[in-house]
Structure 1
């Protein structure tokens, strides 16, 4: 992963003993190495002045087993799977030698799933159906120590999730050319989150002599004791005066804040969803080589909990499921004696209770704060003008916009652009067999992809705006005459285009914006064996 940073400095003093930032908006002296100033911007997306380690170590393994028994007109299939992943990540967010924001994360997650499918045909093949059941169990931990200039604390927690589903889909061939396929799915999901690990273990505000005189353990710990798990947290804050909104100095820990330093109640919380999601489609063969279809479906994405909270929350922040209803019509064609396959589709998706991520202080929180619509079209195809040349191509257009935004999603408005959604996308590739003889076959390949400009976060941070770009690749493959061995060599990102893939902006607290960039131009060599 590659990092880039731009620092907006709000530290006018550079000398506060616990990381205070002086007068907001006052630029720090660029000649003072103790300041987090623009002097630490390298101008190179692959290097920073980070004083901490930037590292990512990810391990994933899994296994699956599929059993299929055929009864003739009916069959029973069992699909069992297990996945286990562990990862360790360290990230110096601010990109300076100073301790402004550093994160380390250890994630350990496993999941096991079991699916049963009963399929068959009735009425001499006029009706084909699939009846199924699915279960997923997932458990894991995410412990994230976070270090700011003003405090050190733990984020993350334990997860324990269950998902049950059953479904039925059937295709009715009403005529030789017209069929209809209705379906229904029932999902019962429970997500559990235990944030007991989230504690403040070093409150550096106690180094400030003024605050320490009122809060010997630190102001952030005082917020925790007066807010987390308290029956009437508003009564525990100064109502007026110079400390208006700050906690009273004599709060005692609540039952769900046993150490007095938890940032959320130390109890497991859960989010449940029980949803019926229908779907229906119909298709008609205009000719033996052309088919028109239309479909409708409803889906949802379950709710959950925001995990990175500081300094304290009365209760664990949660969000509810997001829903979408999708409509699509399309045309599939095979032309010129099947040398050209051309598919055209137009679609519309209506979203409600959209889950939008916005920053609240240093906490990225998910809000059910929007309704939106995505409509567009796509054209894709394959062509073989001669036997030795194959072409693939595609182009897509998306018109995505919010139709309603709740105030809790501020600064997102109905004028904001969807994150990661380009208006235009296109791709093309060519494979050419330039030699085929007794020694084997030599194939050349070239590919191109294009994406119009996008924002990489919901609030449309200008630092995470990616202009339109194209990416090219090329390769050559040789398959020896037995067709068992293939050697492929090539180059990805041929023009060395570096584009933003994602990032995070925190100008008000961390004073920095970072982005992860695409990999540079690289070459590869691959050996494959087919048996």
Structure 2
């Protein structure tokens, strides 16, 4: 843990908690830490009164910490981690070691993503949401009672800024290393006084490539993303609100270019090493410069993602109850062309195409705060149609160049393996939850949810006889079908939550027992035989948790802590079958597992001008009753993406300059102990312990409406693996971004 010394003194200055970092708060006139209002239980509450582990992050903290998409949230929430698969899609999120590292199109992760209470199912459409943000809530542990689908790990709730009855504008403009430009703006106000308000917002982010391609002389891994949103609020009466929201976005940057690592074998399984012992791939190639910002790529890919969505929210107060309806439609179009082997040779080129279309409807009826009993009941419906047409161009470098069509040899995996399929998912749920004060200080909460998922898949895999490179959508001559598979499965389950909380003065003590459910389904990767398409079962997670939330010293110190134990059954695991020459993707149920953990977080404001926060998550995880594909026992191995220690901490110091404004300096950092990316805990899939340190220095105008700041991310230039996949005689490594720095202008009017 040598990296811990970089900001250990800062972390040692405080403990930690489950509430929000101090920088997410606005201070009150008396200098104490302000109240944080969240809606985790579908009603506005002080986060200190909610018997759930929550990290709430304000819009100010998002700007100061440089949070741009869900992958960055681990900077402030150490129990949240991720595996980054590609440039702007297929990121797998984990909370407290619970998640699924599957990058395929039909994967619904264990962490539910919600934008303004709309669940996002598409794996490729979740990175367009953090702009013009009012804040983010990270709910830890199973949220099976009140939230839509598949939330065994937790839920992340994004809230956009809403229209107001007064004109308001916010903007941010940043320029940084690699010619990075990041623009964000939003403006809103009344269109018709006391009747119709509007908010329009957008963002644009572009960056030159950070990685040098030695084959072409170009720089790759560039960014080019834009997104926009409009929200209309109609209030025909004091008891009714209709909110229409529409958003769109596009990523038009490069596909992720990975780092290459030879496996030390040739195409026949014989050892293949250079004279100095460097492992080579099947073509005798190795990337030997140890430079994570350079590579040899014969294919410079691209990634095009278009998102579009619209939702209609209706809220109606009917006496002592409130009725809420949310209707939403989301669609994503994705095309990715990728140099999968990350080398100058034609080994594997991938083309991914996704076309998900989802519709959801939620109805909730709940008490409106008029009595002792707080209750909510509702129903949820979700329908998704996913069409994909993806392919792998395999081992083109081994084909006979004299054959104009290219040697076509399915037996030796020489050809264009294409796997189009359509999957339809239909999910329905009924839920309810109630809280009642058993005594003046003791409150009980009980919740129940019944869920039913139906999944219908029509899958084909085939070799395309016409030679050429992907994209394969231009090819239609199919001569060698491998697999034709059609099936339908249904999954049902009951989720629940029981909790007791005891409130005395400014301290809340709680204990809960809950169950989360993630429905089963079908693998969505390239398959060459029916065995790879075997359905996997639903996974279930039983969670015991106890915690304390307290404010001390006139709210100058906030200490929250919790301990949890997870009994994880039939957990879904994504693995590679390495028994043949071509690594095959498999998704299986891994028996059972258990996770024990302790979280703590401290937010402190010793003076009006100094804010401190520190967080720690300690976990011990292990598989139980889990046999690998080859039959070897993996019992006792650590779970994927489950560090034993994860830390985050930071400080913000404000220096008043009188009528000349103020200076605001911030330093924050995070540390993650070593993790494994696959259940076998092999050394090839081990990610070393790593840290990130960021800094920001800004000047604010006297009225705090304008700020100019210098910023730096990853000051120590820490480089580590964020995802790993075996290919053919080589490994594909995704490396974290290098050090960046720049200048930022923000304004609020």
Identify the match of residue 517 of structure 1 among 735, 744, 748.
735
Identify if the C-alpha distance between structure 1 residues 348 and 36 changes in structure 2 by more than 3 Å, giving closer, same or farther.
same
Say whether residues 1:70 and 2:289 are aligned partners. Answer: no
Aligned to 1:464: 685
Q: Give matches, 1:19-58, under 5 Å.
A: 21-22=267-268, 24-27=269-272, 36-58=283-305
Aligned to 1:263: 482
Aligned to 2:434: 170
Query: Contact 1:36 / 1:96 at 8 angstroms: preserved in 2?
Result: no
Give 1:411 deviation, angstroms.
Answer: 5.0
Query: Contact 1:2 / 1:45 at 8 angstroms: preserved in 2?
Result: no
Task: Supply the distance in 2 between the matched residues of 1:34 and 1:456 (Cα, whole angstroms).
Answer: 21
Task: Supply the distance in 1 between the matched residues of 2:508 and 2:439 (Cα, whole angstroms).
Answer: 14
Give 1:436 deviation, angstroms.
Answer: 5.2
Give 1:6 deviation, angstroms.
Answer: 1.0
User: Which digits, 9 at most, give the CA deviation of each residue in 1:284-339, with x for residues without a partner?
Assistant: 12x30212100011111111112334433268321111111000001111111111
Task: Supply the distance in 2 between the matched residues of 1:407 and 1:10 (Cα, whole angstroms).
Answer: 22
Identify the match of residue 602 of structure 2 among 365, 381, 385.
381
Give 1:475 deviation, angstroms.
Answer: 1.2
Deviates more, 1:42-51 or 1:493-502: 42-51
Say whether residues 1:157 and 2:421 are aligned partners. Answer: yes
Identify the match of residue 313 of structure 1 among 530, 540, 547.
530
Aligned to 2:539: 322
Query: Contact 1:391 / 1:429 at 8 angstroms: preserved in 2?
Result: yes
Give 1:344 deviation, angstroms.
Answer: 1.1
Query: Contact 1:265 / 1:315 at 8 angstroms: preserved in 2?
Result: no
Between the two proteins, the alignment pairs up a number of residues equal to: 460
User: Which digits, 9 at most, give the CA deviation of each residue in 1:179-210, with x for residues without a partner?
Assistant: 000000111112222213x2111499xxxxxx
Identify if the C-alpha distance between structure 1 residues 84 and 488 changes in structure 2 by more than 3 Å, giving closer, same or farther.
farther
Task: Supply the distance in 2 between the matched residues of 1:103 and 1:453 (Cα, whole angstroms).
Answer: 30
Query: Contact 2:261 / 2:733 at 8 angstroms: preserved in 1?
Result: no
Identify if the C-alpha distance between structure 1 residues 398 and 28 changes in structure 2 by more than 3 Å, giving closer, same or farther.
closer
Task: Supply the distance in 2 between the matched residues of 1:272 and 1:350 (Cα, whole angstroms).
Answer: 24
Q: Give matches, 1:61-140, under 5 Å.
A: 61-120=308-367, 125-140=371-386
Give 1:165 deviation, angstroms.
Answer: 1.3
User: Which digits, 9 at most, give the CA deviation of each residue in 1:353-402, with x for residues without a partner?
Assistant: 11122222422111113200000101112100001111111111000001
SS of residue paired to 2:533: coil
SS of residue paired to 1:463: helix
SS of residue paired to 2:571: strand
Identify the match of residue 615 of structure 2 among 374, 388, 394.
394
SS of residue paired to 1:318: coil
| Cα RMSD after superposing both structures | 2.6
Identify if the C-alpha distance between structure 1 residues 405 and 148 changes in structure 2 by more than 3 Å, giving closer, same or farther.
same
Query: Contact 1:191 / 1:271 at 8 angstroms: preserved in 2?
Result: yes
* Unmatched 5+ stretches in structure 2: 1-255, 396-413, 468-476
Identify if the C-alpha distance between structure 1 residues 132 and 471 changes in structure 2 by more than 3 Å, giving closer, same or farther.
same
Give 1:341 deviation, angstroms.
Answer: 0.6
- Higher radius of gyration, 1 or 2: 1
Aligned to 2:262: 7
Task: Supply the distance in 2 between the matched residues of 1:317 and 1:436 (Cα, whole angstroms).
Answer: 66
Give 1:349 deviation, angstroms.
Answer: 0.4
Aligned to 2:499: 281
Deviates more, 1:311-320 or 1:511-520: 311-320
Aligned to 2:450: 186
Aligned to 2:462: 199
Identify the match of residue 442 of structure 1 among 660, 663, 687.
663
Identify if the C-alpha distance between structure 1 residues 26 and 432 changes in structure 2 by more than 3 Å, giving closer, same or farther.
closer
Identify the match of residue 349 of structure 1 among 539, 560, 566.
566
Say whether residues 1:303 and 2:549 are aligned partners. Answer: no
Query: Contact 1:293 / 1:329 at 8 angstroms: preserved in 2?
Result: yes
Query: Contact 1:2 / 1:519 at 8 angstroms: preserved in 2?
Result: no
Give 1:166 deviation, angstroms.
Answer: 1.6
Task: Supply the distance in 1 between the matched residues of 2:391 and 2:718 (Cα, whole angstroms).
Answer: 34
Deviates more, 1:457-466 or 1:162-171: 457-466
Query: Contact 1:2 / 1:518 at 8 angstroms: preserved in 2?
Result: no
Give 1:108 deviation, angstroms.
Answer: 2.1
Task: Supply the distance in 2 between the matched residues of 1:34 and 1:137 (Cα, whole angstroms).
Answer: 44
Aligned to 1:426: 647
Identify the match of residue 493 of structure 1 among 714, 717, 741.
714
Give 1:42 deviation, angstroms.
Answer: 4.4
Identify if the C-alpha distance between structure 1 residues 203 and 497 changes in structure 2 by more than 3 Å, giving closer, same or farther.
same
Identify if the C-alpha distance between structure 1 residues 195 and 35 changes in structure 2 by more than 3 Å, giving closer, same or farther.
closer
Query: Contact 1:456 / 1:502 at 8 angstroms: preserved in 2?
Result: yes
SS of residue paired to 1:311: coil
SS of residue paired to 2:684: helix
SS of residue paired to 1:264: strand
Identify if the C-alpha distance between structure 1 residues 460 and 442 changes in structure 2 by more than 3 Å, giving closer, same or farther.
same
Greater RCO structure (CA 8 Å; 6+ sep)? 2
Give 1:92 deviation, angstroms.
Answer: 1.9
Give 1:63 deviation, angstroms.
Answer: 3.4
Task: Supply the distance in 1 between the matched residues of 2:626 and 2:747 (Cα, whole angstroms).
Answer: 54
Give 1:514 deviation, angstroms.
Answer: 1.2
Task: Supply the distance in 2 between the matched residues of 1:446 and 1:331 (Cα, whole angstroms).
Answer: 27
